[in-house]
Structures are given as structure tokens and as C-alpha cells.
Amino acid sequence: MTPASARPAEDDRPTPLWRRLYLQVLVAIALGALLGHFAPGTGQSLKPLGDGFIKLVKMVIAPVIFLTLAGGIAGMRELGAVGRIAGRALGYFLVVSTLALLVGLAVANIVRPGAGMDVDPATLDAGAVAGYATKAEGSGLTGFLLGVIPDTLVSALTSGSILQTLFVGILFGVALLLVGEPARPLVLTIERLTTVVFRIVAILMRLAPIGAFRAITFTVGQYGAGSLVRLGGLVAIFYATSLLFVLVVLGGVARLHGFSILRLLAYLKSELLLVLGTSSSESALPALMTRLEEAGCDRAIVGLVVPTGYSFNLDGTNIYMTLAALFIAQACDVELGWGEQFALLGVAMISSKGAAGVTGAGFITLAATLSIVPGVPVAGMALILGVDRFMSECRSLVNFIGNAVAAIVVARWEGKLDRARLAEALG
């Protein structure tokens, strides 16, 4: 649980409506959309304002992950528990991520969003996606494994790579656990630092409306107000498929483990609005960890499952990959048999891990997948380049929700979930 000193003192007085973060973010999104529509030039000029907020949040992600993970593992008192939790989390990620890929595959075959477009790949602008294809070259399995290892212990906390921070945090926590009692003063120091860092997170979250305001202002100013409602058939299908996955698949998982997905979404509404406004699930990572601890999840499990899930449990990205890949194939009149489609699924399962933590990971991962699968032209990605910005928001939301569910599920499996506190938080 987040240290009591890291949270504001509670009293019996209800928080005024205007001071609630989710309402402030919602108002900021509405005002940003209006400004972007009526003064697009001003809206686009405000881009640095939102970029600054994202940088502020990313500034604390590495310390939050490292301190929470290292302190949590050191407090387990048993090395076997670390391996058991990690194994269960990765098993869960594998099953649910595969389901996400299958859902995207099934919808693409049933709805066939690209059928009838009859696009000649030779007429597409391959140069428009060349940069993404180049980035994808280093995002395979080998690149992924080498990317986990930082140049130095300290650089893992400064590189901005979640995977490297995760690796060093686990290594440091295991070392503290093995050293035992002599390392106790350092463990206490880590706990105190965690209190301070979570206080910084609480301060930065008050700036969330500014970040959301800038992001939506820039989007509307750049693409026009009509872009918010007329994003094309593929975007509409992707949003509907993602909603289906959240309500049916994640909702079913939640029900099996004793909580409601709809109540969880209501509980995390401020964080979800932040993800929507900034189009980045990372912007709400520290806040998600805090909220899950407040809802009764053990800190060590949250510290291990959530950061790991941000690299291995990208449900929204997986839905996007199979759906978009088949859309491109259908649009270019490329018929893929079931064997080729399942080969595509297998490649996507690996490449989705290889592009973890890379900016624009969804589009880059798709480029990596198509470059390996014969028959589907990589240049076909130019068809969806213009609307990918809008699909990235949905990808981020589903990734965020999936990792929130995962942390609660693993905490319950480990007997480290305070069900009474969870019921009170979701009630």
C-alpha cells in the first residue's frame, strides 16, 4: 500500500466537485477541442505545453518502478515468491495477449474492412512509412533481448526504457533479499524515498488537465473537428472491437475474480481520461500503481505486474496489429489462408514484445510484423498512416485497462488482495 504520508490527510468533508481531477480533465478536453476548432493555429502552437507535461510524468516513471519493485521484492522475504508471481503474471499475459490477437483476427475475417478497395500496392507512397520500417528492423526478438540490458546500472534509470528499469529493479531487489538483515537500512531508505516520489507523483497529477488540454487542442487544430467523429470505417471497427474485448474478455476475467469491469473503469476514470487526452498509457502509469495499491492490491505485486505488463501485456496493440494487417491485405487484394494468418499471429506475438517501450510502438510493431510476413506489402501501411494517430488513443486505453485487471487478478491468485478495500474502492 502506498505510504500514508504519500497521500493527503483524509477527513469527513466531501471533495468539492470542481476539485475532482476527472472533472478537471474532462473540462480541459472540452475546452481544448473548442480552442482547436475555432483557433487551430493557437491550438497547434500549444503543443510544447503538453509535451512538457508528458516529460514531467516520464521523469518519475523510472524512480517509481525501481523503488516500488526493489522495495517490494526485498520485503517478500522469500525468493521463490518472486519467481512464482513473475511466472503467473507472464502466463496471464501470454493467454490474454493471444486472445487479443485472435479477437482482431476474427473481426477482420468477419467484417472484412478492407474488402473492395482494390488498391494497387505500386501506387502507394512507400516513403511515407520508410522511417517506421527502419525503426522496426531493430525491434525483433534479438533487439528486444539486447535492449533489456542497460549500459550501466545507473543508465537504466535515465534511458527512459521501462524494460531496463524493470530488469535492474528486479536484480536490485533480489540482491537485497539475498543479503538479508545487513541490507535492512537500505530497504528502509528505499521505503522513505518511495514516500517522497509518490508525493511528487501526486503533485504532477494536478497538472494533468493542462496535458490533456494541449493534446486535444493540437489534435483538433491539426486534423479538424470533423476528425473526431469521421475517422473512417477501420477506426470505427477498431474502437468497436476494443470495446467488445474490454467488456467481454476482460469483463469475464474480472467477473471470475470477483469484481466488475465497469466499476473498475469508474474507479479509474481520472486516469482513463488522462490516457485519452494524452494518447499515452505511460502518462498514467505512476497514478495507476498508486490507485491499485489504494484499492487493496499488494505493493510488491503492483510493482512487478504493472511495469511488466506495459511491455508484455499490450492488449490494445495486439488487437490493432492483426486487424490492421488483414485490413491492408484485403485492401491490396491479398488473400491470406488460415495457415498464413496463424503464422501472422505467431509473428505478431513475438514482434509485439520486440517493440515494447518504443515511441509509436503500435505502428512500428505492425511494420516489423509485415516485413516478416510474405505477401502483405509493407507499403500498405500508408493507407492507415493518416488515421493511426486516432487509433493510438484506443490502443493506449485498452493497454491501460488490461494491466489494471492483470494486477488485481495476480494479487488475488497470490492471496495479496484486500477484498474488503477493493469492494469499498469500486463501490
Secondary structure of 328-350 as H, E, C letters: HHHHCCCCCCHHHHHHHHHHHHH
Record the pTM.
0.70
Give the DSSP H/E element, type plus range, for residue 377. none
Closest to 373 (Cα-Cα) out of 344, 353, 349, 396: 344
Q: Are 382 and 129 in contact (CB under 8 A)?
A: yes
Phi-psi label, residue 160: left if phi above 0, alpha if psi -120 to 50, beta otherwise: left
Q: Are 368 and 354 in contact (CB under 8 A)?
A: yes
Instruction: Count the neighbouring beta carbons within 10 Å of the beta carbon of residue 402.
Output: 27
Write out the chain's pLDDT in tens, 427 residues: 444 444 444 444 555 656 666 677 777 777 877 777 777 776 666 667 666 776 777 787 778 778 877 877 777 666 777 778 888 988 999 899 899 999 999 998 998 887 776 666 665 545 545 555 555 555 555 665 676 788 888 887 777 676 787 788 888 888 888 887 888 888 888 888 888 887 887 787 777 777 767 666 766 666 555 544 444 677 888 999 999 999 999 999 999 999 999 999 999 988 888 887 766 777 777 888 889 999 999 888 888 888 888 777 888 888 988 888 888 888 878 887 888 888 878 777 766 664 444 445 566 667 767 766 667 777 777 667 656 666 777 888 998 999 999 999 999 999 999 999 999 999 8
**Domains of the chain, earliest start first:** 16-224+231-426 (1.10.3860.10)
37 Cβ neighbours under 8 A, 6+ residues apart: 220, 221, 224, 225
| Helix runs in 245-357, H state only | 251-256, 261-267, 269-278, 285-294, 299-312, 315-331, 338-354
Residue count of the chain, please give it. 427
Q: For cell 491539426, name the residue.
A: 222
Q: Are 311 and 281 in contact (CB under 8 A)?
A: no
Q: Residue 65 corresponds to which cell in the numbers above?
A: 518502478
